[in-house]
Structure 1
Amino acid sequence: MMTINLKYRHMLNRKYLGLLFLCCSYLQGLAQAPLLKKDLLSPGNGHSLIKGFIGDKMKTSINNRVMEQDEDKVIKPFAVKTEKDFNDWRCEYWGKWMTSAVLASSYSPTHEHQDKLKRAVSKLLMTQSANGYIGTYTKDAELEGWDVWGRKYVLLGLISYYDLTKDKSALESAGKQLDYLIAETGRRNIKITDNGLDAIDGLSSNSILEPVVLMYERTGNRKYYDFAQGMVKNWSLPGKFAKNGLKLVEHGIEKLPPINVAAPKAYEMMSCFEGICELYRVSGDEKYLTAAQGFANSILTNERMIVGSGSNQELWSNGVKQQTELMQQPMETCVTTTWMKLCYQLLRLTGDSKWADELEISLYNALAGAQTPNGNWWSYFSPLSGERVPSTPQHEDVGLSCCVANGPRGLLLTPKWAVMKGQKSVYVNLYAPAEYSEMVNGANLKLNVLSDYPVADKITIDVNPDAPGVFTIALRIPSWSIENKFTVNDKNQSVMPGSYAKITRHWKKGDKIVFYPDLRGRILSAPSGAPQMAVMRGPVVLAIDNRMVKEQDSAVWLLPKPWDYGHTELAPAGYKGYVLNREDSEKDLKTKYVDLVPYRNKPDNVWMAFEVAFLMRPSHFFDHKEKMLVMCDYASAGNEFSADNLFRVWLPQPLFLRNAFVKDTWKITYPGKKERPVVPSN
């Protein structure tokens, strides 16, 4: 500890000596901890420019939402400190916004963006109490309600800012914040496991595991590592809320359905597993990775709905089987974002392309559909039938809801996983039109992705290293892409669905990769066994929208072709009507495809639309006729955010077009409200 001149010692009371000791102890430990389990894939850190549909979504989110945020509104609650209980979570907004603003500034670095972040951090640190506390709760209510949850987001915001700028003042303040939490819980004999909201078994407080481990990674302060391990150890023991223990690790390893794990609060539970991923990196304990993978795979089996999200009323709900039903508050945007962040963790740790497949499905569907067309707002919940409804501000003084603050974090994560790095290799995960540059094996590699994917199926990647060299370029072959054409400099290459095509060769400027993924329309049957079907094209879920499919007195069936003229011996002479083609059971087990014809008369704010042949069957074998209906991408469906713009994904068989669209679903999304929510004006 540093020496203090005697003539000044009398000026320091015991309070400030204690703070000085904490600060000096913290600085002494300021050495990065070794990662015992390094990522197999690391995020891209070179230049990236994503274009097209996703690029536009990102640009509008940065310009109209993230960088338009009034930082004073999210900081004021930290200055006045008036919050007390479970109704108060203004404590989360600054950290959520800052983490998304850091992602925005990293992707689009401008002096204006950098200045805004610097101001927001400086103003927040002015609210830090002498004991290190940065929060919104009154002194007598500290550690109550959402307080620890809010401290988590403060830590995540400060850490992300430090990672971007290397401003040590942010990391030092984060250290003081965490030191105070550890000291106070110790002094008051409070376990984090027993802290927070009893209704959700304290999951919100326990999710602080992630930034605790991140602080250890950046400082090497063993106290943080021990605190993290102590938290997880307590998960296995009986506690205040969970009489048999939270047992997140054990239940993850068992692949227990998420609805049966602790309190089934989806967002907070996944946040805890993000922390488990970080703990695996620093501990090397394989059970943590096994638990995270088991939990995520159980989400895929039991909860992840067709558009890449889950939950109903913010809770796990056996959503895989329930998704064809009318759900009251389905697929919270916070759940979508956190699911994507967990998939990103697992992609980094395992290098398994499955998690990139999942990121892509969530990005193009659940996440993109939740954002308003101009990027200034988000929906709280995203239905599979009915209407899109914008989120209402949960705290009028701040002007935000949890999902409006959280949505950009999922969207702006995209450049981190679009192109990633391995050992002497680059991995291409996203095929949107884009430009990337990354250092690989000593060469500055520029990749130019020329495509209109997933609208069109041709993807051309121009490979331009600044010097010829041997390295690997790996391209994701999605699991749904069964029939593929893949060439390098016009030479065919063999590829396997659900894996990476790894091409190791002597690359030079002008080399070219061309990939044609399988974008046939796939018919999916309801996992519950209900007589309903849906259509996907590549990673994109299709839906009917009442701007292009009007209600009418007919019933239609979605069926794979070919249809034939079977049983014609029963038909009158000259009969030309279609009847069903009976398939054997073996064929029934295979993926069924449907022809998709591009629709040219779509509304301007619809990204992609296709005509699809349905079958009208007025009588058993006779007078069957083809009827063309238009289906558009899920993100565009209902994107007027109006009570008059209705859509649906899962199609009953038969679909009676008079009752195709469910009306007034905003009333069950926001029960008790007298007026339909609207996007707030700035």
Structure 2
Amino acid sequence: LWQKFVKVFSTREDGADNGWRGEYFGKMMRGASITYRYLPDEELYSIMEETVRALLATQDELGRITTYPTEHELCGWDLWVRKYVLVGCLYFYDICRDNALKESILTAMQKHADYLIANLGEDKTDILATSDLWGGINSSSLLEPIVELYKLTNEERYLTFAKYILSRGGCTGGNLLDIVEKGELLPHEFPTTKAYEMISFFEGVLAYYEATGEERMLSIVRRFADLVWENEITVIGCAGCKSEQFNHSAIMQAEPVSDKVIMQETCVTVTWMRLMERLLSDLGEAKYADRMELSALNALHGAVNLYHIKQYCKEERRLVDALPFDSYSPLLHHARGVGIGGYKTFADGGYYGCCACIGAAGTGLYPLSAATRSEKGYAIHFFESGTIHLTDSAVIEEIYSPAAGTLSLLLSGFPKTPVALSVRVPSWSNDPSCTLDGEAVDVTAGSYLTLERVWNDGARLTLSFHPALTPIRVNKRTAIRYGAYVLTRDEEKQAGNIMKKIVLPYEGAVYYMETPQEPESIRLRLKTRKGKDVLLTDYASCGKHWLAPRRRITVWFEVKKSILGMRKTKIKREHS
């Protein structure tokens, strides 16, 4: 497979159909590099190194590494491909252990970028004219790796080129930076509405802020992130309920769609997570971790093809062999496995897709960013039972129960000097509580608890987040979250009509927890007035057998409003 990803740079086969096969290398290399950082594996590293060496060998005398021939370049998805060449090389460069190879990678990246600088800009080819798709936003997303190359080399020409890309505003029809700054339009009203590429462009704007400290750029990205969060991000943490475009998904997500409609591209999920992680790293604000958690535990994990099931290919009009990630995520009475995003075949046989390539960047990034260094110590952003190795000696044993909403941290091996430990208290917490070695500590939902002290061996920090059912109502339909998990009805798990209206008991909503079944994280039953309980499990575990006769799932359903009362009804919890 990796050989196929590289071979297209020799055959230049994207030139024949203005394709994007060349993106596969960069996406997969980025995901593999992130995964390797979290779980080092020598076989994986060997494959990556061999692949990068093979890619460098395809560079022509002009410095180009692309899947487009010289007689048909700077069009279609050519700049998108060249962007991902830089992305893949930059990520492998960070983990490369061979200094000579690192030097070769750096030289190749600079020649590759210098060719673009020589051909794009004022009095040259306009970057927005290099693609007739989506107003050129795909080409403008080249910004992020160009800025990263500037950070790596400190060569002024790359910063100058980045400034030029910014000056063009991202797309035809209007300057996206000015549009976001003015705040007069919502994302679905922008000159271009392609969700994945637009988020990727703003990731480059944030990288520019990181390189220059220009506060205006940070302000624009923060405003953009909030606009998308408030108007486009759905209940499961993705966006784009109209094909792969922004369409005011916050409102449209609860509307029925036909079986032929694709929605909520996995590429959008991962790129949104990347932007949130970057804002979290730059600013340390808990809301970005909350948003990233929602996407990871629902949209991303839900897209993992756990059982290697075949998927339907719209282009071939048939089922094809499994890819590791599903490309689209349903919400309302729909099934998985209905299409392969970014599907392309190779000239020598085989196929792949964009979402299958990008998924590993998300599944690697989420655990990798769970615990990070802070200014005076360490921060824990996301929770999973296991061992956190902060240094050779400093270790935290973590026990987390998503159903109970409890987190226990046992510390050992810390230095005998003060160290700050910050732990996120999620915004979904209800009256959270905390103890340190049995002594109560004040905590606030939607923030970080930070304690700076000398940590004795055996110090134990315990937090209780008290998750509860949280109803969300859109267009006369209801979705329910339990903590960060979106609860889902799955017709394979429970007989009957999953779209039948739920009529709750007169006393309100009452539920009881059950032991989750593999691969579930949350399993509970909601009592109804007529006595038949409704089974609800976490979204990521649902719809996994998408070739089964009963394969539809739904996160949106009708609940009798007069009984639920939404904000007024107290949702009670019982134990099974």
State the TM-score, normalizing by the size of structure 2.
0.88
- Deviation track 1:400-459 (CA, whole Å, cap 9, x = no partner) reads 1111111111111113320122111211111111221224xxx942111112x3133221
What SS class does the counterpart of residue 469 from structure 1 fall into? coil
> Does the 8 Å CA contact 1:246/1:261 hold for their aligned counterparts?
no
What amino acid maps onto 2:556 in structure 1? W
Change (3 A) 1:344 1:609: same
| Corresponding residue for residue 403 of structure 2 | 455
What residue number does 2:231 align with?
302
After TM superposition, the structure 1 = structure 2 runs for residues 500-519 of structure 1, keeping only pairs within 5 Å, are 500-519=448-467
Alignment-derived partner of residue 587 in structure 1: none
Structure-1 residue corresponding to 2:511? 596
* Alpha-carbon distance in structure 1 between the residues aligned to 2:503 and 2:296: 26
Match of 1:557 in 2: 502
**What is the Cα deviation at residue 477 of structure 1?**
0.7
Give 1:402's aligned residue. Answer: 354
Partner of 1:275: 204
State the AA in 2 paired with 1:320: A
Are the equivalent residues in 1 in contact too, given 2:121–2:127 (CA < 8 A)?
A: no
User: Separation in 1 of the partners of 2:78 and 2:36?
Assistant: 28
> Is the 1:252–1:292 contact (alpha carbons within 8 Å) kept by the matching residues of 2?
no
Secondary structure at the aligned position of 1:507 is classed as coil
Mark the CA change 1:85 to 1:492 in structure 2 (over 3 Å): closer, same or farther: farther
Count matched residues. Answer: 533
Is 2:102 aligned against 1:170?
Answer: no
Whole-angstrom distance in 1 between the partners of 2:254 and 2:298 = 16
- Give, in angstroms, the shift of residue 132 of structure 1: 0.6
Q: What's the secondary structure of 2:404's corresponding residue?
A: coil
The one-letter amino acid of 1:405's match is: C
Report deviation, 1:547: 2.4
Q: Which amino acid aligns with 1:288?
A: M
Aligned partner of 1:318 in structure 2 is: 248
Match for residue 612 of structure 1?
526
- Take 2:428 and 2:398, find their aligned partners in 1: how far apart are those partners? 21
Corresponding position of 1:470: 418
Query: In the alignment, is residue 222 of structure 1 matched against residue 156 of structure 2?
Result: yes
Alpha-carbon shift at residue 349 of structure 1 (Å) = 1.4
CA distance in 2 between counterparts of 1:552 and 1:323 reads: 21
2:69 matches 1:138: yes
- The aligned counterpart of 1:412 is 364
Specify whether residues 399 and 554 from structure 1 end up closer, same or farther in structure 2 by C-alpha distance, changes over 3 A only. closer
Distance 1:310 1:554 in 2: 23
8 Å CA contact 1:252, 1:293 repeated in 2:
no
- For the 8 Å contact 2:294–2:485, the answer to whether it is kept is yes
Distance (whole Å) between structure 1 residues aligned to residue 430 and residue 191 of structure 2: 39
Deviations 1:478-499 (A, max 9, x none): 1110221211111111111110
Structure-2 residue corresponding to 1:32:
none
Contact 2:510/2:526 (8 A) holds in 1:
yes
- Relative to structure 1, the CA distance from residue 188 to residue 253 in structure 2 (aligned partners, 3 Å threshold; closer, same or farther) is closer
Which structure exhibits the higher relative contact order, with contacts defined as CA atoms closer than 8 Å and separated by 6 or more residues? 1
Aligned to 2:281: 348
Equivalent residue for 1:424, pick from 376, 390, 402: 376
Q: Which residue number in structure 1 is paired with residue 293 of structure 2? A: 360
Cα pair distance change 1:268/1:553, threshold 3 Å = closer
Q: Is the alpha carbon distance of 1:430 and 1:646 closer, same or farther for their aligned partners in structure 2, counting shifts above 3 Å?
A: same
Q: 1:83 to 1:488 in 2, by over 3 A?
A: same
**Of 421-430 and 184-193, the range deviating more from structure 2:** 184-193
Cα contact 2:499–2:557 (8 A) shared by 1: no
CA distance in 2 between partners of 1:232 and 1:332 (Å): 26
Distance 2:497 2:263 in 1: 28
Deviations 1:565-599 (A, max 9, x none): xxxxxxxxxxxxxxxx7xxxxxxxxxxxx443223
The DSSP-based 3-state class of the residue aligned with 1:519 is coil
- Give 1:611's aligned amino acid: R
**CA contact 1:74–1:90 (8 Å) conserved in 2:** yes
Q: CA distance change for structure 1 residues 277 and 558 in 2, over 3 Å: closer, same or farther? A: farther
Letter in 1 for 2:368: K
Q: Deviations over 1:262-288 (max 9, x none)?
A: 210000000000000000011211110
Counterparts of 1:131 and 1:158, CA distance in 2: 18
Q: What is the CA distance between 1:249 and its match in structure 2?
A: 4.7
Change (3 A) 1:223 1:604: closer
Q: Which moved more, 1:632-641 or 1:83-92?
A: 83-92
Q: Distance in 1 between the 2:497 and 2:271 partners? A: 40
* 1:193/1:235 contact within 8 Å kept: no
- Residue of 108, 125, 139 corresponding to 2:56: 125
**Residue 324 of structure 2 corresponds to which residue in structure 1?**
377
The C-alpha deviation readout for 1:152-203, integer Å capped at 9, x for no partner, is 000011111111126221121111100111112259711213321x330000
Corresponding residue for 1:649?
A: 555
After superposition, the CA RMSD in angstroms is 2.2
Mapped to 2, the partners of 1:105 and 1:479 lie a distance apart of 31
Structure 2 unmatched runs, 5+: 309-322, 562-576
CA contact (8 A) 2:35 2:361 kept: no
Please list the CA deviations of residues 471-525 of structure 1 after superposition, one character each: whole Å capped at 9, or x if unmatched. 1111101111022121111111111111001111221211011111122122222
Q: Counterpart in 1 of 2:480?
A: 535
User: 1:521–1:595: 8 Å Cα contact kept in structure 2?
Assistant: no
Question: Counterpart in 1 of 2:125?
Answer: 190
Instruction: Note closer, same or farther for the CA distance 1:124–1:505 as it changes in structure 2 (3 Å cut).
Output: same
The amino acid across from 1:596 in the alignment is Y
Conservation of the 8 A alpha-carbon contact between 1:464 and 1:511? yes
Cα drift, residue 89 of structure 1: 0.6
> 1:558/1:406 Cα in 2 relative to 1: closer, same or farther (>3 Å)?
farther
Of 271-280 and 502-511, deviating more is 502-511
Matched, 1:627 2:532: yes
Amino acid at match of 1:461: L
Aligned-pair identity in percent equals 28
Evaluate the alpha carbon distance shift between residue 331 and residue 186 of structure 1 in structure 2; reply closer, same or farther with a 3 A threshold. closer
Please give the TM-score of this superposition, normalised by the length of structure 1.
0.75
Please tell me whether the aligned partners of residues 256 and 295 of structure 1 are also in contact (alpha carbons under 8 angstroms): no
Offset of residue 96 of structure 1: 0.5
Give the counterpart of 2:20 among 80, 84, 89: 89
Q: Mind listing any 5+ residue stretches in structure 1 that lack a counterpart?
A: 1-69, 565-580, 582-593, 616-624, 656-682
Aligned letter for 2:244? E
Question: Compared with structure 1, are the counterparts of its residues 204 and 86 closer, same or farther at alpha carbon in structure 2 (3 Å cutoff)?
Answer: farther
2:395 corresponds to 1:446: yes
SS in 1 for 2:168: helix
The aligned amino acid for 2:330 is: P
1:73 alignment counterpart: 4
Residues in 2 aligned to 1:475 and 1:558: alpha-carbon distance in whole angstroms: 39
Contact map agreement 2:367 2:382 (CA 8 A) in 1: no
The 1-side partners of 2:358 and 2:243 are apart by 17
One-letter code of the match for 2:253? Q
Query: How far apart, CA to CA, are the structure 2 residues paired with 1:553 and 1:206?
Result: 44
Measured in 2, the distance between the counterparts of 1:546 and 1:606 equals: 15
Q: Report the equivalent of 1:110.
A: 41
Q: Which residue among 548, 554, 564 is the counterpart of 2:493?
A: 548
Inter-partner Cα distance in structure 1 for 2:81 and 2:122: 20
Provide the rounded CA distance (Å) in 2 between the counterparts of 1:114 and 1:423: 31
- Local SS of the residue matching 1:383: coil
In terms of mean alpha carbon deviation, does 629-638 or 383-392 score higher?
383-392
State how far apart, in whole Å, the 2-side matches of 1:471 and 1:553 are. 51
Q: Which has the larger radius of gyration?
A: 1
